Chains A and B, each alone.
Chain A
Amino acid sequence: MDTAHTQEFKKHIRTYILVFVALLALTIITVTISTLHLSVPAAITVALIIATIKSSLVASYFMHLISEKKLIFLALLITVVFFVALMWLPIFAHSDPIIYKNVP
């Protein structure tokens, strides 16, 4: 690796450290918010938004998704579709429960 490339790569390392600090800060924020005793829907929404931001940081920078090839995004897109479908299952089950009316 020549000097120009080395300098360029060292910029990436600075980004990794910034991401690390952001992850620690977001962890403290999510724990602090959990002590505020928000209503359950609000607490779930805030906690999941923070977790999504944290996981996006890990995936984008530590797993280099930000500069990854198209094929990986295609595989991830399919995964997201199936994952979302999976998350809807309990919601469907909850909104349309089986009620055993005539069971003794």
Chain B
Amino acid sequence: MEIPYTITARPDTGLFNAKLGVWLFLTSEVMLFGALFTTYILLRVGAPTWPHGELDVPLATLNTAVLITSSITMVMAWASLVLKEWKKHKLYLAATILLGVAFLVIKAFEYGHHFAEGELPNKSTFLAIYFTLTGLHGLHVIGGMIVNSYLFFMGGKMWKTQPERFTNRIEVAGLYWHFVDLVWIFLFPVLYLL
């Protein structure tokens, strides 16, 4: 059975199906992270004191830059396909995946430092919500990297047979990847700067 509207827009929605599907998934993701942000607010306003300046701001700033850069490389991976520049696409998608790896390596350094200092999730309310929020975000980065890696290796074969469908796949994978960047844009000031 052929999947409908993978390339052309469905007349009633004006969108190809995958795009609407991913956007609906992202709205559910907003509520997932929203629930944890509310938890953060509730814990913070209810706490007698809240630690400040305990996290590594320079390292997190670097990680913010890494994730923003991976967002531009992701959008360029899609734009290269629209311009039919396959080699550039491969380069940008590889860069996106590698920047994802860089983000996780930097995060692992941070986590390692916390663990070495005995700063575990059970030590304080702040550490509990810090590890929950950054841990869930890290899992999302891993998820995005799995999808991008599939599209880089096996999934890329589709470019030869159905280039427009593949371009749409990269576009919706990008939507998810940008969302992961967007969550970090809020996590960074909330956890590190305030």
The distance in angstroms between the C-alpha atoms of A70 and B186, with both chains bound, is 26
* B45 interface residue per 8 A CB criterion: yes
14 contacts between A and B (CB under 8 A): A9-B83, A10-B83, A12-B79, A20-B68, A20-B72, A30-B188, A47-B189, A51-B188, A55-B185, A59-B178, A62-B72, A63-B179, A71-B15, A72-B19
Chain A residues in 8 Å Cβ range of B41: 87, 90-91
The distance in angstroms between the C-alpha atoms of A19 and B74, with both chains bound, is 14
Taking the closest CB of chain B, its distance from the CB of A23, in whole angstroms, is 5
* B102 interface residue per 8 A CB criterion: no
The distance in angstroms between the C-alpha atoms of A79 and B27, with both chains bound, is 6
From 1 to 37 in chain A, residues with beta carbon under 8 angstroms from any chain B beta carbon are 1, 6, 9-10, 12-13, 16-17, 19-20, 23-24, 27-28, 30-31, 34
**Majority secondary structure, A binding face:** helix
- Name A53's closest neighbour in chain B (CB-CB): B185
* A78 interface residue per 8 A CB criterion: yes
* A93 interface residue per 8 A CB criterion: yes
Structural contact, B23 and A1, CB atoms closer than 8 A: no
The distance in angstroms between the C-alpha atoms of A43 and B20, with both chains bound, is 37
* A101 interface residue per 8 A CB criterion: no
Structural contact, B193 and A47, CB atoms closer than 8 A: yes
Chain B residues in 8 Å Cβ range of A83: 30-31, 34
Q: A1-B84, A9-B79, A90-B41 are in contact. Are A71 and B178 (CB under 8 A)?
A: no
Taking the closest CB of chain A, its distance from the CB of B82, in whole angstroms, is 6
- Name B62's closest neighbour in chain A (CB-CB): A27
Structural contact, A86 and B57, CB atoms closer than 8 A: no
Q: Within the complex, which residue of B35, B38, B57, B185 is in contact with A31, where a contact is CB–CB below 8 Å?
A: B57
Chain A residues in 8 Å Cβ range of B57: 31, 34
Q: Within the complex, which residue of B65, B84, B175, B182 is in contact with A27, where a contact is CB–CB below 8 Å?
A: B65
The distance in angstroms between the C-alpha atoms of A39 and B17, with both chains bound, is 48
Taking the closest CB of chain A, its distance from the CB of B103, in whole angstroms, is 14
- Name A12's closest neighbour in chain B (CB-CB): B79
Give the top 5 A-B pairs by smallest Cβ distance, nearest first.
A90-B42, A47-B189, A34-B193, A20-B72, A69-B14
